[in-house]
Amino acid sequence: MFYLYFMDTFQKAVQLRNAKWLATGLFLLMLAVYVLMIYCSGWTDALWIGYVKAFSEAAMVGALADWFAVTALFHHPLGIPVPHTNLIEKSQKKIGHNLGDFVVANFLSPESIRPYIRKVFISRYVATWLEKESNKALLITELSLLLEDIIAKTNDESVTALIAREGKSLIGQIKLNLVVANALCYFIEHGEHEKPVTLLAGKIKEYIRENEDMVREKVKEESFFFIPKFVDNKLASKIANGLIRYFDEIEKDPGHKIRTEISAQLFLFAKQLRTESQWEEEFQRLKDSLLSAEQFHKYALAIWSSLKKTIRGELADKDSALKRYLGHSLDELAHKLKTDKALREKTDHWIRHNAYKLILRNTENVSALISNTVGNWQGRELSRKLELEVGKDLQFIRINGTVVGGLVGLLIYALTRLFS
């Protein structure tokens, strides 16, 4: 790109130099003709010498006048700081401001851009472009590099603080008593609490069966001294067997009254969790004790570190799930844009609408950009740039001035001769 710019600048400089030499050469030719006519007038009185002399004399005046005018735009003629010369360098701020206003008024007005915006149909082009595997792979690669660059430049402490702050705010809005109450009601309504009851009844039954001797000892400890031991043993066996049968019934009977009572008590407890303020306060204290600012920061740091590691791993893997998902999503987008006319029209309308708004909203910024860019150039640099762009054409003013000046001088001489 720089090479092309350099070559273009070099070519324009060569063209400008050649045009200057042509205009200057024509002036020197007129000077030579004028000198020759003065020499010839010394040894002959031929009528044509006066006409040629008048033409060459006036041509030199026209050439010099236009040379001064053209040169005064970009330089001080002959380096002499004549007033109102070197105009470009002296007026660069004004030029920048006027140029910015000119571009905005003539190229970025609603009337100017509306016809072009209406011709914008990007969706079909995007669909065709995405159908090529090389383009899709290029886009995925660029997106991956962009995401990797964003992650690399992201301040870990800022992200951690953001996660901690948002997490604390989110959790602060959650009422744990309602969460627990709702979860408890869900388990009861779906019979999930029956499984623990069945398991617990079975475990108690087996425990009593395996520890009948302990039951017997407890009966003896609570029995009166005058009751015979065989009576205590008999009583202990009946108590143990009764408990075993009772818990066996609870375990096997889904409609047992104990189960019904447990369900009712759990529903009552869920209602208390919802309505009684003491439970809300208890859960709030529990939440505050478990989730301090330091702990939130620790959790947030762990979350961000894990997320960053996962994303980087996905981006490094050429066949990662993330890249496959991106590829699949791009395929779907291309297919929809190509086959869904309504989606294409909607997409193009959205692009045109927002492009139109964006351009109009930033016209002042465009004007300021042009004005500041031109205004911040070195005065000599601005003069040089403009001379390279238009200087070659301005040299033809010098050439035309030479020819026209000569013709005007010839006409004046001829009229003078005619009426004298």
For residue 218, what pLDDT is reported?
A: 66
For residue 18, what pLDDT is reported?
A: 83
For residue 93, what pLDDT is reported?
A: 65
What is this structure's pTM?
0.45
Task: Pinpoint the alpha helices (H) of 190-256.
Answer: 194-210, 212-222, 229-252
For residue 48, what pLDDT is reported?
A: 83
For residue 172, what pLDDT is reported?
A: 66
Annotate 352-398 with DSSP letters as a single string: HHHHHHHHHHTHHHHHHHHHHHHHHS-HHHHHHHHHHHHHHHHHHHH
The tally of CA atoms less than 13 A away on the side-chain side of residue 405 is 22
For residue 279, what pLDDT is reported?
A: 77
Please give the span between the terminal C-alpha atoms of the chain, in angstroms, as a whole number: 66
Work out the burial of residue 306: count CB atoms within 10 Å of its CB; fewer than 13 is exposed, 13-18 middle, 19 or more buried.
exposed
- The span from the CA of 37 to the CA of 42, in Å, is 9
- The 8 Å CB, 24+ separation contacts for 368-372 are 368/100, 369/100, 370/96, 370/99, 370/100, 370/103, 371/96, 371/97, 371/99, 371/100, 372/96
- The span from the CA of 69 to the CA of 23, in Å, is 14
Q: 217 is written with which tokens?
A: 């000892």
For the chain, domain boundaries: 2-90+377-419, 158-290
For residue 380, what pLDDT is reported?
A: 63
- The span from the CA of 215 to the CA of 364, in Å, is 94
For residue 300, what pLDDT is reported?
A: 80
pLDDT tens, position by position, for the chain (420 residues)?
555 656 667 787 787 788 888 888 888 998 998 888 888 877 777 778 888 888 988 889 888 888 887 777 767 776 777 776 665 666 666 666 666 676 667 666 777 777 777 777 788 888 888 888 888 888 888 888 888 888 888 888 888 888 777 776 776 667 777 777 888 788 878 777 778 878 888 888 788 777 777 766 666 665 555 456 656 567 667 777 777 787 788 788 888 888 888 888 888 888 887 887 887 777 777 766 666 667 777 878 888 888 888 888 888 888 888 888 888 888 888 888 888 888 888 888 888 888 777 777 777 776 777 666 666 655 566 567 666 666 677 788 888 888 888 888 889 888 887 886
